[in-house]
């Protein structure tokens, strides 16, 4: 079989697929890309058994049909060196030798039989809905940073996606912080929920960036979900288990409300946090009147920092401590000018909201647990 493709078009596809390939595969065949040439065109597949991604391409020229797997690393490294140039693949069906011709260069590598390459899962009787790419991209972008890494609680290592007649909800938590991102402009015909792992989310987040007008077909059942758009299909195994009741941990009565410029607060926390304890990363928030004082200290090294900020505040004077790393992550993942921090007590979670959200169809809430203050 033989086909010709533009080097940059192929490289872009291989780089996207490369994100699926694991660095410690249990099966050697999973270190390869599967090339399948048929009457319809060329498909290239990558898999790690949990996540499978297929990209369809139209070759500039094609002869014959067939399948071969090609080692991913050497092919990617080779394609990265080419300028925009036609590349010819010539595959010997009997020996599976693959010859590349590009300009004045000829390169040979060994292909492998496709028999051992895992079959793409097929979803039997799936639920399905069509979504704007921008909805998924934003939902993943706003939540993935809050997922956990605890192997004992795998459900918290993914993002919960809940569908209802009223809205679509994305939730992530690691027990220290929680993000709930809702789209009020997406309505499902029936209630459903599933937990999507981190790896396919990262793949989709990158692929869907700048595809705002694209439509994505989402299909899912009890075990798998698939996302189809443009010339891409990604299928992944879902995380099994029951997601914690996140609504129960969100405090509903928060009489102390602080509003402040997001970037000013972020810059101050970054500076003050340099002087905080390397064990707790604690930054103290002391709020009185219309003034917020941020402070941090590392008693082991006699480091100390303090900054004063002007804010808008309603409520009782209070002192509360937060993990500066978590707080910075939340502020970075909000995009509006001002944020509102609502609190009830120094030992209760604080809730962060955007003020005057530009998109009226977005509803975003971020929760952060306090840390015990050093007296």
Structural domain containing residue 324: 250-371
Do 207 and 311 belong together in one domain?
no
The answer to whether residue 299 sits within a structural domain is yes
Mean pLDDT over residues 173-192, rounded?
96
* Distance between CA atoms of residues 190 and 165, nearest Å: 7
Shortest CA distance to 51 belongs to which of 83, 17, 10?
Answer: 17
Question: Please, is 2 exposed, middle or buried when counting C-beta atoms within 10 Å of its C-beta (0-12, 13-18, 19+)?
Answer: middle
Query: What's the pLDDT tens digit per position in 221-271?
Result: 999 999 999 999 999 999 999 999 999 999 999 999 999 999 999 999 999
Do 82 and 141 belong together in one domain?
no
Choose one of 247, 263, 290: the last residue of a domain: 247
Shortest CA distance to 224 belongs to which of 234, 210, 209?
Answer: 234
Shortest CA distance to 177 belongs to which of 12, 29, 333?
Answer: 333
Shortest CA distance to 237 belongs to which of 56, 72, 48?
Answer: 48
Mean pLDDT over residues 150-173, rounded?
96
Mean pLDDT over residues 14-21, rounded?
97
Do 329 and 260 belong together in one domain?
yes
Do 234 and 262 belong together in one domain?
no
The answer to whether residue 225 sits within a structural domain is yes
* Distance between CA atoms of residues 370 and 298, nearest Å: 18
For residue 269, the model assigns a pLDDT of: 98
- Looking up residue 298, the CATH number of its domain turns out to be 3.10.150.10
- Please answer whether residues 313 and 324 qualify as being in contact, where contact means their C-beta atoms are separated by less than 8 angstroms: no
Do 234 and 341 belong together in one domain?
no
For residue 213, the model assigns a pLDDT of: 82
Percent of the chain exceeding pLDDT 90 equals 94
CB crowding 253-274: b at 16 or more within 10 Å, else e: ebebebebebebbbebbeebbe
Number of domains the chain contains: 3
For residue 123, the model assigns a pLDDT of: 94
The answer to whether residue 57 sits within a structural domain is yes
Order of all β-strands in the sheet with 97-102:
61-63, 2-6, 86-91, 97-102, 105-110
The answer to whether residue 118 sits within a structural domain is no
The answer to whether residue 120 sits within a structural domain is no
Choose one of 220, 247, 274: the last residue of a domain: 247
Handedness of CA 86, 92, 93, 98 (dihedral sign): negative
* Distance between CA atoms of residues 351 and 30, nearest Å: 44
Query: What's the pLDDT tens digit per position in 92-145?
Result: 999 999 999 999 999 999 999 999 999 999 999 999 999 999 999 999 999 999
Do 176 and 287 belong together in one domain?
no
Shortest CA distance to 268 belongs to which of 233, 316, 236, 306?
Answer: 306
For residue 375, the model assigns a pLDDT of: 57
Query: What's the pLDDT tens digit per position in 328-369?
Result: 999 999 999 999 999 999 999 999 999 988 889 999 999 999
SS (H, E, C) 196-264: ECHHHHHHHHHHHCCCCCCEEEEEECCCEEEEEECCEEEEEECCCCCCCCHHHHCCCCCCEEEEEEHHH
Choose one of 214, 247, 280: the last residue of a domain: 247
The answer to whether residue 346 sits within a structural domain is yes
Compute the 3-state secondary structure of the chain and give helix, strand, coil in percent, each to the nearest 5. Answer: 20, 40, 35
The answer to whether residue 122 sits within a structural domain is no
The pLDDT confidence band at residue 79, using thresholds 50, 70 and 90, is very high
34/357: higher pLDDT = 34
The answer to whether residue 115 sits within a structural domain is no
Do 133 and 241 belong together in one domain?
yes
What integer best gives the mean pLDDT of the chain? 96
Q: How many residues does the chain have?
A: 375
């Amino acid at each position: 079989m033989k086909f010709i493709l533009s080097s940059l078009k192929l490289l872009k596809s291989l780089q996207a697929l490369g994100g699926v390939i694991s660095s410690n595969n249990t099966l050697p065949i999973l270190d390869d890309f599967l090339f399948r040439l048929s009457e319809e065109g060329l498909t290239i597949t990558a898999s790690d058994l949990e996540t499978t991604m297929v990209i369809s391409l139209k070759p500039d020229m094609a002869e014959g049909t067939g399948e071969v797997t090609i080692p991913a690393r050497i092919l990617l490294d080779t394609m990265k060196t080419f300028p925009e140039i036609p590349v010819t693949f010539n595959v010997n069906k009997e020996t599976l030798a693959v010859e590349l011709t590009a300009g004045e260069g000829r390169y040979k590598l060994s292909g492998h039989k496709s028999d051992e390459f895992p079959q793409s899962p097929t979803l039997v009787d799936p639920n399905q809905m069509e979504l704007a790419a921008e909805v998924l991209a934003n939902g993943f972008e706003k939540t993935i940073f809050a997922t956990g890494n605890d192997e004992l609680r795998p459900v918290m290592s993914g993002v919960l996606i809940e569908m209802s007649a009223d809205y679509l909800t994305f939730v992530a938590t690691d027990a220290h912080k929680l993000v709930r991102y809702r789209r009020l402009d997406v309505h499902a015909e029936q209630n459903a929920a599933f937990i999507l792992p981190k790896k396919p989310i990262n793949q989709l987040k990158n692929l869907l960036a700048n595809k705002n007008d694209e439509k994505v077909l989402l299909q899912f059942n009890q075990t798998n979900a698939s996302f189809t758009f443009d010339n891409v299909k990604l299928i992944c195994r879902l995380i099994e288990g029951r997601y914690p009741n996140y609504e129960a941990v969100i405090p509903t009565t928060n009489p102390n409300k602080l509003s402040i410029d997001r970037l000013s607060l972020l810059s101050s926390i970054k500076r003050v946090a340099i002087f905080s304890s390397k064990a707790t990363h604690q930054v103290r928030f002391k709020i009185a009147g219309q003034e917020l004082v941020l402070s941090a200290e590392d008693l082991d090294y006699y480091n100390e920092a303090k900054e004063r900020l002007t804010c808008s505040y309603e409520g009782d004077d209070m002192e509360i401590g937060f993990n500066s790393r978590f707080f910075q992550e939340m502020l970075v993942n909000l995009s509006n000018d001002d944020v509102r921090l609502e609190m009830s007590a120094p030992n209760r979670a604080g809730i962060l909201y955007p003020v005057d959200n530009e998109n009226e169809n977005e509803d975003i809430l971020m929760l952060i647990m306090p840390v015990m203050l050093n007296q």
